[in-house]
Chains A and B, each alone.
Chain A
Amino acid sequence: MRNILVIARREFFAYFGSATAYIAIALFLALLGITFFFEVPFLIAKPAFFDARVADLRPLFEWMMFLFAILLPAISMRLLAEERKLGTLELLLTMPVTESEVVLGKLFGAVGFLLVALVLTLGYPLLVSILGHPDVGPLVGGYLGVLLVGTTYLALGLLASSWTSSQVVAFLLAIVISATFTFIDLVPEALGLKAIPAFEVLSFNYHFKSIARGVLDLRDIVFFVSIIIGAVMLTTWSLESRKWKGA
């Protein structure tokens, strides 16, 4: 556990040692504010906060999820791809650490970034609570939901980052994977077809909506946690495979 925390700490501070983290968070907060408070005719059918005049926080969390699908691959892309490109992965993996410790350390460091971004969004529910009386259940469920889905995006991004030494390729792969899982339940609807249950079961959007309503169904939590564990295991295996492939 100590090694995981040492690696996580280094990753966390590496984000905030450059302008990347500040730009990403500023952009995220600005886009979130615009999409939540004002009408943006895209993805979410509900009217924006000022049009609806209802203290409903669910659209805020839905927008967070959509924005994270793009923002978090940009955060996870460097985690292993950059190490591979610079050769620092060789030094890291020849220290007395295991591959799974490296993977978990990297993931926890990125989750630290995610937590900072989430804490900075607290201003929005605070503003809503001044203007109205939002329900506490969806607020807690919403944050738990975006934390789960955000960690899932990061775990999938980390997996993509382990496959290549190019950050751009890692970013694009992570976006494709994340977007596919997020919106797969909307595909039949977009094509004018009936909903396909298998697509709903696989969809982040579907499970997230359930949590964001404030209904903590164990199945939804297990769904996200299973994907995170699966991605961590695959990333560990991907790192171990260098021993036979030659990195």
Chain B
Amino acid sequence: MSTSQISMISVQNLVRDYGPIRALSDVSFLIERGQVVGLLGPNGAGKTTCMKILTGFIAATSGQVLIDGKDIVEHGVEVRKRIGYLPENAPLYQDMRARDYLHFVARLRNIAPEKIKERIEHVAKVIQIESVLNQDIGTLSKGYRQRVGLAQAMIHDPEILILDEPTSGLDPNQIIEIRELIKEVGKDRTVILSTHNLHEVTATCNRILIVHKGRLIADGSPAEIQEQHGGSNTFKISIQGAGESVKDTLKGLEGVTDVVRLENQDQAATDWRLFGAADVDLRADIFNLAVQNDWTLLELHHERQDLETIFQRLTLT
């Protein structure tokens, strides 16, 4: 197999048990070079376990992880050289200055001593931590600590960045800044980030893996997931001049599976949501039904389920 055919990250049938609890169950996926992938799932879904296995911190009960074709267990040290990792909550040595900490990491990352200063300054500029380099990490705000964590993950210019909940606990402005940073650094490397926040993945990733109860339940770009998991299509209508029997009349329409009345402020009109079978476009039938019954159709909207609804539906069971 040539290098170009080998996936950057290959996860095959990963299982991880904590005693009697199965945290990951037969998870498989491939990630190619240059992809920014969001591992999405509710708390306790298995995202962090997956990341800890990918970085070699814990072992899988069974299954295999290959990084550029190399097994993470057999070639642990060699593989870890190519990965930059930011664990959840950016655990750093509080008693060290940011500069000294980055120097320490750079030495462990085998950067030549004469190049360390240059690398620290470069990464500090990219991550925008130049102003706090000489401060003790313990005195930094959470946002800056997160940035120093990101800087240590990038100090050796790794091909793969693994970020566990990179924006957790940050304020909205800091979240936007970190997302921009991830997008920027993801332009020329493979990035996997975990989050339970849907906006995070849609804002930063070009591929989403949804994990729930230890299983991979969806995989694709945001558009592909909407396409694959959109489920039943719905239509929202607003009608004026309809009588008491409108619900039954709407239910009688062929292809309609359910009808729900919606709350609205307009006394003169009533709003309804019609649930149709998948792939059935009811707009023309609804319009014709309104004409037949002498209703004034104020609004007719074909709703497609957005990612948030799909995510909720997939992970609430």
A residues apposed to B, CB below 8 Å: 2-3, 6-7, 10, 14, 17-18, 86-88, 90-91, 93-98, 242-244, 246-247
Query: Given A3-B108, A6-B104, A246-B18, is A87 in contact with B58 using a C-beta cutoff of 8 Å?
Result: no
Beyond A18-B95, A94-B55, A96-B80, list 13 extra A-B contacts (CB 8 Å): A10-B93, A10-B96, A14-B96, A86-B94, A90-B52, A90-B91, A94-B85, A95-B80, A96-B108, A97-B108, A242-B57, A243-B58, A246-B18
Instruction: List A contacts of B56 (CB < 8 A).
Output: 94
Option from A2, A14, A98, A247 in Cβ contact (under 8 Å) with B57: A247
Contact B77 A90 (CB under 8 A): no
Contact A14 B18 (CB under 8 A): no
Option from A10, A14, A96 in Cβ contact (under 8 Å) with B110: A96
Interface of A is mostly: helix
Q: Select from chain B the residue with minimum beta-carbon distance to A244.
A: B59
B102 on the A face (CB < 8 A): no
Q: Select from chain A the residue with minimum beta-carbon distance to B162.
A: A94
Q: How far is the CA of A94 from the CA of B56 in the complex (A)?
A: 6
3 nearest CB pairs, A to B: A87-B91, A243-B59, A94-B55
Contact B78 A96 (CB under 8 A): yes
B81 on the A face (CB < 8 A): yes
Q: How far is the CA of A242 from the CA of B56 in the complex (A)?
A: 11
Instruction: List B contacts of A14 (CB < 8 A).
Output: 93, 95-96
Option from A17, A88, A96, A247 in Cβ contact (under 8 Å) with B58: A247
Q: Select from chain B the residue with minimum beta-carbon distance to A97.
A: B108
B109 on the A face (CB < 8 A): yes
Q: Select from chain A the residue with minimum beta-carbon distance to B106.
A: A6
Q: How far is the CB of A209 from chain B (nearest CB, A)?
A: 39
B127 on the A face (CB < 8 A): no
B87 on the A face (CB < 8 A): yes
Q: How far is the CA of A246 from the CA of B58 in the complex (A)?
A: 6
Q: How far is the CA of A93 from the CA of B52 in the complex (A)?
A: 11
Query: Given A6-B107, A96-B77, A246-B58, is A91 in contact with B91 using a C-beta cutoff of 8 Å?
Result: yes
Contact A242 B58 (CB under 8 A): yes
Q: How far is the CA of A14 from the CA of B80 in the complex (A)?
A: 26
B163 on the A face (CB < 8 A): no
Q: Select from chain A the residue with minimum beta-carbon distance to B107.
A: A6
Contact A90 B87 (CB under 8 A): yes
- The 0/1 profile, CB within 8 Å of A marked 1, for residues 129-163 of chain B is 00000000000000000000000100000000000
Instruction: List A contacts of B108 (CB < 8 A).
Output: 3, 6-7, 95-97
Q: How far is the CB of A3 from chain B (nearest CB, A)?
A: 6
Q: How far is the CA of A95 from the CA of B158 in the complex (A)?
A: 12
Instruction: List B contacts of A10 (CB < 8 A).
Output: 93, 96, 104
Q: Select from chain B the residue with minimum beta-carbon distance to A102.
A: B108
Q: How far is the CA of A126 from the CA of B19 in the complex (A)?
A: 59
Q: How far is the CA of A102 from the CA of B18 in the complex (A)?
A: 25
Query: Given A94-B55, A246-B58, is A86 in contact with B104 using a C-beta cutoff of 8 Å?
Result: no
A-B contact pairs, 8 of them (CB 8 A): A2-B110, A14-B95, A90-B87, A96-B110, A97-B77, A242-B57, A243-B59, A247-B57
Option from A7, A88, A96, A244 in Cβ contact (under 8 Å) with B91: A88
Instruction: List B contacts of A2 (CB < 8 A).
Output: 107, 110
